[in-house]
Structure 1
């Protein structure tokens, strides 16, 4: 005979099989539940030019020169997640499949990669997730994963975060990128305040760090940012981000390092994206991002334009064209990408 808990789980699994919601929830009792989510995505990407520093389905800020003219089919961006709720306690874990290059001769196997693994209890969040420095709602919608990461705050790491209303403060994993990370003994301190309303949101954030050079010196670093998503006409929105100071590894996906020799890097990053709905099921995005650094004299930019069609609430496809330029090395590459996504 089924007991009460088994019956609730069986009922929840049956609902999962028939529901069309993006996240499937199994309600165990009045306080406990398990949710499953994620998406399956297939991408076809063509890259042509002399910048060869892209990882699978997206560009990073670190530039590698080399002629490239290639097409790649991939499903590595697919991801799966699970959320566990027990009263005031929430646990969340998510993985994708970007680890390894796979065997393209026979099986194209790739390995799971941990994205998020954290615990939430009332005002506290502990574990690996997006850095408090980020405003994820400001990221551009793109086929190329993350869009102009070259100018966006983009870091996942382990942290301890306290949230009070619109204010968040955290201590996060330190890493002296370009220096001696083995001597990192002080956590990064991050604070953010988010203004929000029916109009959208704007977040102001700052990060303070102690960096350790290869020469054995300790240097203080302070980075700041303002980012947001503003509703405009109809369902359209404008997304933007401006970051400055010693943002280092927190912005640009390796477009700048924390340290250059014995000096702390100073960078300026600008990102803007506009999303326009042609119809309820057809939308386009245009985005541009640029990062410039002082010590290393880097100048990296990425722009793209796309169009997405929602076949159903869960199924969509889109195509994107764009360009990634490394002005400081006088190289660039164009790309085209087709993506098909099924949201679970």
Structure 2
């Protein structure tokens, strides 16, 4: 059969619920191939960054902040310009006898790390009759508590906004998913590193998928969400070591439109063994007690609060984020380097983002981020950032 292609020009394209985990509602070019509607959308973006203190990665990162006694903290003033956040995506919509089939493939150029700009897969999924399969944003949490920032790194304490493989079912405001257990959540730790990271235990295993549940609702000017997470944390070496523990987490988030010009938002996340399901999680999900061989989940608690105010052609955004890990038991158990593990992160962002014309956005931002390790040593960093974004 000969394919006929009809271009329909530029018009607003409403992304699916899952792609809405980014704060951008894209504009799209649409065309038809037989009975398939194809949409292309994305943006080109320049980020201009000046780190007043020590140099941080392009996307920021609390864990990269040098402590005050680190010689790197004295090397101040760093500039970088990059276009890694630039994004392109393709979406399709195909009618079937039993409902519409939609697919999305989306990527950016944050895959290389460092100075390299390599294409990175963000979303790759299809959805049909409420069933979503592929890679997309985790079902644990949404964007209601997410303060709008220019820094690509989301604020500490939020549910993780990264994407992973999953099978999800959605009906109305409720969704349930089976998700990749070794990706966002992380693995059981054998110890911590002097730089604040952790070492995965050689016997850590992922026997079962993580289970996530979410409900989204609305009451007048209030939008809210409740999420839950259950996961298994396990080690098994085929000899003496064989133990597991239950990990669990909850998230509450809300967005309240006080007036047409003023929006309040916030979130709370808490759990045992959730690890990277919390944005900028300061600790591993769990560790092996060196004396007993037991798997011990680490408790994480975080939250965000923010305000968004309309001003001229744009909005002023002020947001705060907080995330902390309870490492007392790990220190008492003698886990390697637990006293120098990351314990608490905070973020404070103030920005103004505006659009002089359709499809063009500018922004300026100042942020302060902090890092504290379990023994009380800490450090902080101030970043100035600007951005220019052209959407299509």
- TM-score, normalized by the shorter chain, greater than 0.5: yes
8 Å CA contact retained: 1:140, 1:146: no
CA distance in 1, matches of 2:149, 2:4: 42
Give the equivalent residue in structure 2 for 1:106.
none
Instruction: Describe how 1:69-218 pairs up with structure 2 within 5 A.
Output: 69=76, 70-87=78-95, 88-101=100-113, 110-148=117-155, 150-154=156-160, 155-175=162-182, 176-179=186-189, 180=201, 183-213=205-235, 216-218=242-244
8 Å CA contact retained: 1:270, 1:291: yes
CA distance in 2, matches of 1:46, 1:89: 44
Give the equivalent residue in structure 2 for 1:338.
386
Question: Do residues 27 (structure 1) and 32 (structure 2) align?
Answer: yes
Deviation of 1:306 (Å) = 0.5
Secondary structure in 2 aligned to 1:98? coil
Secondary structure in 1 aligned to 2:109? strand
Deviation of 1:257 (Å) = 1.6
Secondary structure in 2 aligned to 1:99? coil
Question: Do residues 275 (structure 1) and 273 (structure 2) align?
Answer: no
Give the equivalent residue in structure 1 for 2:194.
none
Residue 183 and residue 177 in structure 1: after superposition, are their counterparts in 2 closer, same or farther (change >3 A)? Answer: closer
Q: For residues 86-117 of structure 1, what are the alpha-carbon distances to aligned partners after superposition, in whole Å with 9 as ceiling and x for unaligned?
A: 112111111100122476xxxxx621000110
Give the unaligned 5+ runs of structure 2: 14-25, 190-200, 290-295, 328-340
Give the equivalent residue in structure 2 for 1:248.
275
Secondary structure in 2 aligned to 1:111? coil
Residue 193 and residue 59 in structure 1: after superposition, are their counterparts in 2 closer, same or farther (change >3 A)? Answer: same
CA distance in 1, matches of 2:170, 2:386: 39
Secondary structure in 1 aligned to 2:52? strand
8 Å CA contact retained: 1:16, 1:26: no
Match of 2:42 among 35, 38, 52: 38
Deviation of 1:335 (Å) = 0.5
Secondary structure in 1 aligned to 2:119? strand
CA distance in 2, matches of 1:64, 1:209: 32
CA distance in 1, matches of 2:370, 2:188: 23
The answer to which of 89-98 and 290-299 deviates more is 290-299
TM-score, normalising length from structure 2?
0.77
Q: For residues 153-206 of structure 1, what are the alpha-carbon distances to aligned partners after superposition, in whole Å with 9 as ceiling and x for unaligned?
A: 113110000011111111100024343475211000001111125514111001
Residue 216 and residue 196 in structure 1: after superposition, are their counterparts in 2 closer, same or farther (change >3 A)? Answer: same
Give the equivalent residue in structure 2 for 1:307.
352
Give the equivalent residue in structure 1 for 2:57.
55
CA distance in 2, matches of 1:242, 1:190: 16
CA distance in 2, matches of 1:200, 1:94: 30
Q: For residues 255-282 of structure 1, what are the alpha-carbon distances to aligned partners after superposition, in whole Å with 9 as ceiling and x for unaligned?
A: 2220134421101101112110012x12
The answer to which of 94-103 and 71-80 deviates more is 94-103
Residue 62 and residue 335 in structure 1: after superposition, are their counterparts in 2 closer, same or farther (change >3 A)? Answer: closer
CA distance in 1, matches of 2:136, 2:287: 27
The answer to which of 179-188 and 199-208 deviates more is 179-188
8 Å CA contact retained: 1:78, 1:96: yes
CA distance in 2, matches of 1:278, 1:62: 34
CA distance in 2, matches of 1:124, 1:7: 29
CA distance in 1, matches of 2:144, 2:30: 24
Q: How many residues end up aligned between the 2 structures? A: 326
Q: For residues 286-310 of structure 1, what are the alpha-carbon distances to aligned partners after superposition, in whole Å with 9 as ceiling and x for unaligned?
A: 0100111112671110101011221
Secondary structure in 2 aligned to 1:133? coil
CA distance in 1, matches of 2:181, 2:221: 35
